[in-house]
């Protein structure tokens, strides 16, 4: 037997294999790109070529009925990027420290206070950046913070974030797993679509843009969860916190807030 | 004549020890998910375990078995020493290094991305580098198989390649081209993101590239099993192989049709056009052809065995089969599981029916039945067949082997049938826990307990398997009998030239892949909307 002749048309194996594969490919393409789309009105509305393009995954426009001139409500303008979370240079921390003198009245000299304003010491930089941006463009409401954020430039915001990220987190440590953790914190409530707190807020994982909430003031935590639940706070980009809070009962909001506030600094110790 | 005994043994032992570890993880997962245990305290541990179980079972075990079996076939079927023994050891150590690297990264929780590692979830770069090393190690094997065959052909012009070696090299070429998809995904998209060079990743493109590997890899796992069907089973049960040509046709059909079908894993993905989904579904139907041919041929070969043993009439030969032979038992179990798994697979591949079971526990049931059932049970037989050659041990304990096979078969059915059922009822796969106190879930709780019991049987079976292999190392050394492969019913029949080489089929494999994947890949690569922010897993806190 000679090895020659394998690719010759005279070799029936070659002839039949090649012909069958071409026929199979052509038939399935014709069915998939022409015949099946022909019975779908949304495919055929703009003619055969448009229908083939759609079947190939390339519609002429992805959403032809959408009125692009109309603006849609948007929860936030900030797109979180990993660069926001990187450690800053010492000079940025220094500039941030100077700017932060404006913030001490509520947030404390070192980012911790008992004024029910959130602690900022050790907060992740991208969190501070996002919230200040949202205040500045009125995506998050606070009569005090919206006014204060107006005067801040991009660089001011990033310097402030660097400064607060640089401050030590005081006496609060991350939640570690234990059977004793409240169920909602540990495993959430799967049948109600409530994710466990620790899958984003530290513990199982710490997601980008999710704040450090250990030791936050009780009133602040409760107020925020309630605001998410009612929709009066709506600057969570994917509505993730609104969806969590909406499914929670008032008792659960109290319990989760009390859990995370348990390590809040007390007046005497400051 | 098996000279590379140490090499083959090293591959098999690492594979089976890893297998034993991973099966314990699998059973732990089943247990903590069942109502028998309280909820797993930290779901991350569950996903870490899924990642490790899947990475070992899907990548490490079959790759090492295919490599070890491939080296053994090269020497036994070509009847000459392996060329490139030193390179083979280099490949082995690369696989080991990669496995250790990936295992450590997974163990410290920096790679809980599940073994399919779909972006935008991104693990530590060490995990991907580990997986790449495993693949690169296996590429050395691919090259060695090709070189050994070429050298043999040069010395034996015009002689047909032994069927075992033909299947073995088909498997090697299949793997070489299969792994290109995921290798491209890891090197071009994932590693830059994982190393922090980019903050976004083309998730749509990554999924398409992975699908290129994801389905065809199944046929790479399957090759050693099919080689065993054709070249070991008929001899072991005292029959003849019904058709040598049919074996070759099945192997080349796998080569041609296993790649351009992977998009059936992405039926729910919006970034792929409906036309391509249909084309891939149609081609997936084609890949059932070599399996049906194989089932026909092996059943026909068994009939020859039955009739040679005096079986008469349309079904009398079935009774006359050597049912006390472990190989007979294994191939029967394998076909039963292949039948159920294959029928389930037809549901998965059809564009419409897939909607009902997509991402449910059904899918887990399907691939456990096909891979862990039909395929792995033949890996056991390959090891049992080769062990006397490898260790020069005496005959293995037949009763214990049969007990092990029974446990594996019953365990796999009890594990995976409830999964199919709850999948139809809508239970999602890859969940760390279920709240069985909920009235909607309460009625499904028993199925999870059943699967846990099935898993326990599998653990026992795996332990018995490793025990049989380990104890064979003790005791008197015997000179093994000459190893033989099945003889065809019509020995000496001429092999068509097209089935004595791979050129045409490799060309068709590459051509069809380009036709079916070229456009979706190019389109997604150029689509700016497909780039999404990376989500690092285990990044901080």
Q: What is the DSSP string of B339-370?
A: HHHHHHHHHHHSTTTHHHHTTBHHHHHHHIII
**Residue A210: how many other CB atoms lie within 10 Å:** 21
CA distance B519 to B516: 7
> Is residue A70 scored above 80 in pLDDT?
no
**Residue A70: how many other CB atoms lie within 10 Å:** 6
Find chain B residues with C-beta within 8 A of A23's C-beta. none
Cα B160 versus chain centre, distance: 28
Q: Band of the pLDDT at B541, cuts 50, 70, 90?
A: very low
Which pLDDT tens digit goes with each residue over A140-196? 999 999 999 999 999 999 999 999 999 988 666 777 767 778 889 988 888 889 998
CA distance B74 to B77: 6
CA distance B405 to B399: 10
CB pair distance less than 8 Å for A17 and B498: yes
CA distance B178 to B209: 10
The helix or strand, by DSSP H or E, that contains position B284, with its residue range, turns out to be helix B274-286
**Residue A51 CB-half CA count within 13 A:** 19
Kindly state the DSSP code that residue B387 receives in the 8-state scheme.
H
CA distance B93 to B183: 19
Q: Band of the pLDDT at A62, cuts 50, 70, 90?
A: low
Q: The tokens 């490139």 sit on which residue? A: B84
Cα B92 versus chain centre, distance: 18
The helix or strand, by DSSP H or E, that contains position B122, with its residue range, turns out to be strand B121-122
Q: Each residue of B459-480: b (16+ CB within 10 Å) or e?
A: bbbbebbbebbeebeeeeeeeb
**Residue B490: how many other CB atoms lie within 10 Å:** 12
- Do the Cβ atoms of B242 and B297 come closer than 8 Å? yes
pLDDT of residue B540: 63
In the numeric block, which tokens belong to residue B281?
Answer: 């579904």
Strands B121-122 and B200-202: unpaired
- Do the Cβ atoms of B261 and A19 come closer than 8 Å? no
CB pair distance less than 8 Å for B495 and A58: no
CA distance A65 to A126: 36
Selected residue with higher pLDDT from B362 and B438: B362
Q: The tokens 């620790």 sit on which residue? A: A198
Q: Chain A window 56-75: which residues touch B at a Cβ cutoff of 8 Å?
A: 56-58
Report, in this order, helix, strand and coil percent for chain A, each rounded to 5.
50, 0, 50
Using CB atoms, pick whichever of B271, B278, B438 lies closest to residue A32.
Answer: B278
pLDDT of residue B497: 87
Closest CA to B36 of B511, B426, B333, B449: B449
pLDDT of residue B539: 62
Which pLDDT tens digit goes with each residue over B175-227? 999 999 999 999 999 999 999 899 899 999 999 999 999 999 999 999 999 99
pLDDT of residue B345: 93
Report the range of poorest mean pLDDT among A21-30, A164-173, B110-119.
Answer: A164-173
pLDDT of residue B44: 83
CA distance A242 to A270: 34
Residue of A nearest to B270 (CA): A57
Spatial neighbors of B288 by CB under 8 A, at least 6 apart, are B342, B345, B346
CB pair distance less than 8 Å for A32 and B494: no
Provide mean pLDDT across the span B133-141: 95
In chain A, pLDDT over 90 holds for what percent of residues?
A: 54
Q: Is the dihedral of CA B52, B58, B63, B68 positive or negative?
A: positive
SS3 category, B130: helix
> Is residue A3 scored above 60 in pLDDT?
no
**Residue B254: how many other CB atoms lie within 10 Å:** 27
Closest CA to B44 of B52, B56, B36: B52
Q: Chain A window 25-54: which residues touch B at a Cβ cutoff of 8 Å?
A: 25, 27-29, 31-33, 36-37, 52, 54
SS3 category, B535: strand
**Distance, in angstroms, between A79 CA and closest chain B CA?**
9
- Do the Cβ atoms of B342 and B370 come closer than 8 Å? yes
> Is residue A225 scored above 50 in pLDDT?
yes
- Do the Cβ atoms of B149 and B161 come closer than 8 Å? yes
> Is residue A2 scored above 60 in pLDDT?
no
> Is residue A269 scored above 60 in pLDDT?
no
pLDDT of residue A266: 65
Q: Helices B61-78 and B5-33, interaxial angle, to 10°? A: 150
Provide mean pLDDT across the span B503-530: 93
Q: Band of the pLDDT at A268, cuts 50, 70, 90?
A: very low
CB pair distance less than 8 Å for A204 and B44: yes
Which pLDDT tens digit goes with each residue over B359-377? 999 999 999 999 999 999 9
In the numeric block, which tokens belong to residue B89?
Answer: 């050891």
> Is residue B538 scored above 80 in pLDDT?
no
Using CB atoms, pick whichever of A32, A174, A179 lies closest to residue B541.
Answer: A174
Closest CA to B78 of B133, B183, B142, B3: B3
SS3 category, B33: helix
In chain B, pLDDT over 90 holds for what percent of residues?
A: 84
Catalytic residues of B: 215, 219, 366-368, 429-430
pLDDT of residue A1: 41
CB pair distance less than 8 Å for B497 and A208: no
**Distance, in angstroms, between A29 CA and closest chain B CA?**
6
Residue B228 near chain A (CB below 8 Å): no
Residue of B nearest to A195 (CA): B43
Which pLDDT tens digit goes with each residue over B10-65? 999 999 999 999 999 999 999 999 999 887 777 888 999 999 999 999 999 999 99
CA distance B459 to B25: 10
- The backbone torsions φ and ψ at residue B518, rounded to the nearest 5 degrees and listed phi first, read -55, -50
Find chain A residues with C-beta within 8 A of B434's C-beta. 190
CA distance A170 to A112: 8
Residue of B nearest to A3 (CA): B497
- Do the Cβ atoms of B390 and B8 come closer than 8 Å? yes
Residue A118 near chain B (CB below 8 Å): no
Mean pLDDT of chain A: 87
Which pLDDT tens digit goes with each residue over A245-264? 999 999 999 999 999 998 77
Angle (nearest 5°) at CA A57 between A56 and A58: 95
Closest CA to B201 of B519, B517, B525, B520: B525
Q: The tokens 């022909």 sit on which residue? A: A38
DSSP string, chain A: --STTTTSTTSHHHHHHHHHHHHHHHHHHHIIIIIHHHT-HHHHTT-HHHHHHHHTT--SSS-TT--TTS----S-SPPP-GGGGSPPPHHHHHHHHHHGGGGHHHH-TTS--SSSSPP-TT--HHHHHHHHHHHHTTSS--HHHHHHHHT--HHHHHHHHHHHHHS--TT-------TTS-HHHHT-BGGGTBPPGGGTBSSS-B-TTPPP-TT--HHHHHHHHHHHHHTS----TTSHHHHHHHTS-HHHHHHHHHHHHTTPPPSTT-
DSSP string, A61-125: SS-TT--TTS----S-SPPP-GGGGSPPPHHHHHHHHHHGGGGHHHH-TTS--SSSSPP-TT--H
């Amino acid at each position: 037997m000679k090895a020659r002749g394998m690719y010759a048309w005279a070799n029936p194996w070659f002839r039949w294999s090649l012909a069958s594969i071409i026929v199979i490919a052509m038939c399935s393409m014709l069915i998939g790109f022409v015949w099946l789309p022909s019975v779908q009105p949304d495919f055929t509305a703009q003619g055969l070529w448009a229908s083939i393009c759609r079947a190939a995954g390339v519609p002429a426009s992805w959403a032809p009925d959408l009125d692009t001139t109309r603006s849609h409500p948007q929860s936030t303008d900030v797109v979180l990027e990993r660069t926001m979370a990187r450690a800053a240079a010492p000079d940025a921390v220094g500039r941030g420290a100077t700017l932060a003198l404006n913030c001490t009245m509520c947030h404390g000299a070192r980012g911790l206070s008992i004024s029910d304003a959130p602690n900022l010491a050790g907060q992740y930089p991208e969190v501070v950046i996002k919230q200040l941006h949202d205040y500045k463009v009125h995506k998050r409401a606070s009569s005090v913070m919206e006014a204060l954020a107006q005067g801040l430039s991009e660089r001011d915001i990033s310097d402030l974030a660097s400064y607060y990220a640089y401050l030590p987190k005081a006496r609060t440590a991350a939640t570690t797993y234990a059977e004793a953790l409240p169920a909602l914190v540990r495993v959430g409530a799967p049948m109600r679509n409530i994710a466990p707190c620790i899958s984003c807020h530290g513990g199982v994982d710490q997601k980008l843009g999710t704040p450090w909430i250990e030791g936050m003031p009780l009133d602040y935590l409760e107020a925020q969860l309630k605001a998410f639940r009612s929709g009066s706070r709506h600057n969570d980009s994917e509505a993730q916190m609104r969806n969590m809070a909406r499914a929670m009962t008032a008792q659960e909001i109290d319990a989760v807030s009390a859990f995370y506030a348990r390590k809040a600094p007390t007046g005497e110790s400051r | 004549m098996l000279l590379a005994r140490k090499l083959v043994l090293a591959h098999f032992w690492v594979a089976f020890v890893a297998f034993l570890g991973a099966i314990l993880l699998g059973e732990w997962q089943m247990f903590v998910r069942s109502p028998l245990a309280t909820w797993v305290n930290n779901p991350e541990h569950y996903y870490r375990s899924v990642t490790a179980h899947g990475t070992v079972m899907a990548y490490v075990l079959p790759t090492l078995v295919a490599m070890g079996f491939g080296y053994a076939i090269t020497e036994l079927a070509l009847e000459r020493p392996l060329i490139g023994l030193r390179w083979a050891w280099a490949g082995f150590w690369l696989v080991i290094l990669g496995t250790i690297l990936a295992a450590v990264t997974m163990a410290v929780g920096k790679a809980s991305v599940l073994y399919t590692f779909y972006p935008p979830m991104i693990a530590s770069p060490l995990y991907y580098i580990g997986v790449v090393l495993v693949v690169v190690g296996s590429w050395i094997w691919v090259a060695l198989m090709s070189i050994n065959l070429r050298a043999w052909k040069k010395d034996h012009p015009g002689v047909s390649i032994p069927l075992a070696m033909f299947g073995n090299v088909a498997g090697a070429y299949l793997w070489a081209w299969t792994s290109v998809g995921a290798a491209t995904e890891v090197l071009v998209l994932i590693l830059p993101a994982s190393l922090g060079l980019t903050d976004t990743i083309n998730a749509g493109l990554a999924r398409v590239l992975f699908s290129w590997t994801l389905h065809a890899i199944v046929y790479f796992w399957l090759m050693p099993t099919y080689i065993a069907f054709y070249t070991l089973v008929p001899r072991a049960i005292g029959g003849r192989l019904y058709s040598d040509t049919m074996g070759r046709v099945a192997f080349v059909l796998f080569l041609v049709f296993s790649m351009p079908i992977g998009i059936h894993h992405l039926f729910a993905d919006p970034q792929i056009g409906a036309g391509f989904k249909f084309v891939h579904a149609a081609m997936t139907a084609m890949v059932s052809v070599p399996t049906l041919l194989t089932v026909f041929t092996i059943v026909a070969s068994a009939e020859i065995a039955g009739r040679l043993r005096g079986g008469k009439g349309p079904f009398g030969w079935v009774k006359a089969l050597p049912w006390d032979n472990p190989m007979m038992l294994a191939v029967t179990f394998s076909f039963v599981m292949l039948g159920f798994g294959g029928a389930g697979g037809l549901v998965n591949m059809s564009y419409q029916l897939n909607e009902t079971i997509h991402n449910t526990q059904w899918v887990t049931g399907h691939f456990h039945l096909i891979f862990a059932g039909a395929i792995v049970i033949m890996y056991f037989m390959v090891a049992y067949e080769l062990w006397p050659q490898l260790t020069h041990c005496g005959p293995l304990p037949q009763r214990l082997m049969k007990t092990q096979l029974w446990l594996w078969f019953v365990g796999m059915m009890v594990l995976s049938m409830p999964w199919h059922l709850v999948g139809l009822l809508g239970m999602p796969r890859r969940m760390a826990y279920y709240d069985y106190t909920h009235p909607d879930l309460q009625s499904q709780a028993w199925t999870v307990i059943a699967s846990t019991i099935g898993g326990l049987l599998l653990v026992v079976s795996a332990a018995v398997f490793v025990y049989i292999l380990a104890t064979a190392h003790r005791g008197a050394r015997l000179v093994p009998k000459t190893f033989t492969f099945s003889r065809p019913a019509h020995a000496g029949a001429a092999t068509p030239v097209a089935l004595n080489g791979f050129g045409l089929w490799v060309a068709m494999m590459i051509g069809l892949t380009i036709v079916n994947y070229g456009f979706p890949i190019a389109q997604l690569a150029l689509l700016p909307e497909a780039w999404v922010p990376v989500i690092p897993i285990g990044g901080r806190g």
